[in-house]
Structure formats: structure tokens, C-alpha cells
Amino acid sequence: LLAMPEDKRRTFRGRRLAMIFQDALSSLNPVFSVGWQIAEMFRVHEGMSKKDSLAKAVELMERVRIPAAKQRVGDYPHQFSGGMRQRIMIAMAIALDPDVLIADEPTTALDVTVQAQVMLLLKELQRESNMGLILITHDLGVVADVADHIAVMYAGRIVETADVMSIYSNPAHPYTEGLIASIPRMDMKGQELYAIKGIPPNLLHIPRGCPFNPRCPYAQDICRAEDPPLYDVAAKHQSGCHFWEEVHNGSIR
């Protein structure tokens, strides 16, 4: 993809690969109606007329369940709520039935009820269109509900990857273990919520060895000297930790 000339990459984006950004208000152009912005996908990629592309925009707004789509197609982004703006972003992203949809923190700044509605919509659209959905998020609750496979990243690199049940039930990396331990639970009343110590590293000055070693409760000399590869834990389960086996079986905790 990176080696493609810009003109070919432009045709690839939108049609084969689409993205939903986390801040819908800043992603939408405030001086154009939402219908015009959705219709632009069809004008640019399909060569449709203004009238036909606007009709397609109404269809998409209805598909993502925006009430009174015909009446609101001429409205501007600021006239919609945060949840409705995110639905407009989803409509733009799925306009050309992409093979892969990347959703970057799609529920940021939305209340819990609206978050659930947006994620349910994404799941339904993914199932209907049989498209791949890559979800970038810090919300582990969303991950557990939506994902089939998880890649945990730290300092710009993957430190563990596995199916969702393996990650939650038996992590093999201290960072993954810490993330899961920090999720509030109903049975923790009166207990202090776990927090991973320290702060994320400066990406311009990543520590030598394992990038997580300054914050890792299990770090030893090898962790400060050698950057671990991704070890095979099981089928489709890898961990970038020198002591993945001890973390995985619980003997190091």
C-alpha cells in the first residue's frame, strides 16, 4: 500500500479500505451539509450525478439509523448530537462497501448508552457486509464484546496477540495482565483499583531491551538488555515477553 503511487492509493482508500476517526466533529467539514459529504464518496469514486449521489446519501443515513434522513440530509454537522455524527462517519466509511473498516476509538466522548448503540451498529454492518473490522481502542469492555482476535500494543509495537478468550482468561504478557487487572469489577467493592505503575515511554527514547521493563513488576536483567521477540505461546497466541511461560501459568505472580 505504501509503495503505491498516490493516484492508485486514492482509488484504494474508500473503496477497499475505509476509516472512522474518533472525533467526528473535527473529522466532518463544518461548511458542507452531511449529505453533501456522504454523497462525495459516490461523486468521486463512482462518477454519480449530484442528484443520484444525494439519494444514495439518504439511503446510507437510513441504513445507519439516523431518524428522518430525508429531512436531515441537508443539515450541518453541528446540528447533530455526538452519537449521530459518529453514525454519519460510519455512513461515509461504508458507502463503497470496503473490504476492511478501521475504527479508531469510535466511541470516544460518547455516553455509555450511545457507545453501546454505535458498537452494535458496527457489529451488524460488519456481519451484513462480511467486511473486516479493525478496532483501535483502550476500552477493554468494547474489545471483549466485539473482537474475535486481539493484538495488544505497547510503545508502538505488538506485545501479545491471541483470540479474545485466551487474552482475557490467560494472558502471557505483564502489560496485558495489568490492563485486565485494571478493569473495574462488580466484586471489587471496597478494594483499591489496580493501576500499572509508571508512565508510558517517550517514543523517541524507548528504553533498551523490553520497552515495558521500567514498569514491569517481573523485570529482570535480561529484560533490560534484550528486546524479546514474539514467542509462540499456543496456536495463534504469541507474547513478546522473556518470561511469557511464567506469566501464562501464573508461577511468577
Whichever domain contains 94, its CATH number is 3.40.50.300
Q: Are residues 61 and 118 in the same domain?
A: yes
CB neighbour burial string for 119-151, b if at least 16 within 10 angstroms, e if fewer: bebbeebbeeeebebebebebbebbeebbeebe
Q: Are residues 122 and 33 in the same domain?
A: yes
Asked whether residue 1 is domain-assigned, the answer is no
C-alpha distances (whole Å) from 172 to each of 4, 47, 149, 176, 194 are: 37, 50, 15, 7, 18
**154-191: pLDDT as tens digits:** 999 999 999 999 999 999 999 999 999 988 888 877 78
pLDDT of residue 201: 94
> In the prediction, which pLDDT does 73 show?
97
Do residues 122 and 163 both lie within one domain?
A: no
Residues 136 and 23 grouped into a single domain: yes
Residue 105 is assigned to a structural domain of this protein: yes
Q: Which amino acid is at 119?
A: M
pLDDT of residue 22: 86
Q: Indicate whether 115 and 37 sit together in one domain.
A: yes
Residue 20: pLDDT above 90?
yes
Mean per-residue pLDDT over the chain, rounded: 92
| 3-class state of residue 183 by DSSP | coil
Boundary (domain end) residue, out of 141, 176, 204: 141
Indicate the pairing of strand 231-234 with strand 237-239.
antiparallel
User: Residue 211 domain-assigned?
Assistant: yes
Report pLDDT digits (tens) over 37-87: 999 999 988 999 999 999 999 999 999 999 999 999 999 999 999 999 999
Domain match, 44 and 110 both:
yes
In a domain, 33, yes or no: yes
User: Do 136 and 154 sit in the same domain of this protein?
Assistant: no
pLDDT at 6 over 90: no
Residues 127, 29 share a domain: yes
pTM of the model: 0.85
> Can you give the residue range of the structural domain that contains 175?
149-249
Convert the pLDDT of each residue in 98-147 to its tens digit: 999 999 998 887 888 888 899 899 999 999 989 999 999 988 878 888 89
pLDDT on residue 253: 65
Q: Which of 121, 51, 112, 129 is nearest to 88 (CA)?
A: 121
At residue 220's C-alpha, the angle toward residues 216 and 221, to 5°, is 130
Nearest to 103 by CA among 149, 135, 71, 64: 135
Last residue in a domain, options 141, 163, 191: 141
Tally of domains within the chain: 2
- Which of 141, 164, 195 is the last residue before a domain boundary? 141
Say if residue 252's pLDDT is above 80: no
Residues 133 and 100 in one domain: yes
| Co-location of 170 and 124 in the same domain | no
CB 222 within 8 A of CB 242: yes
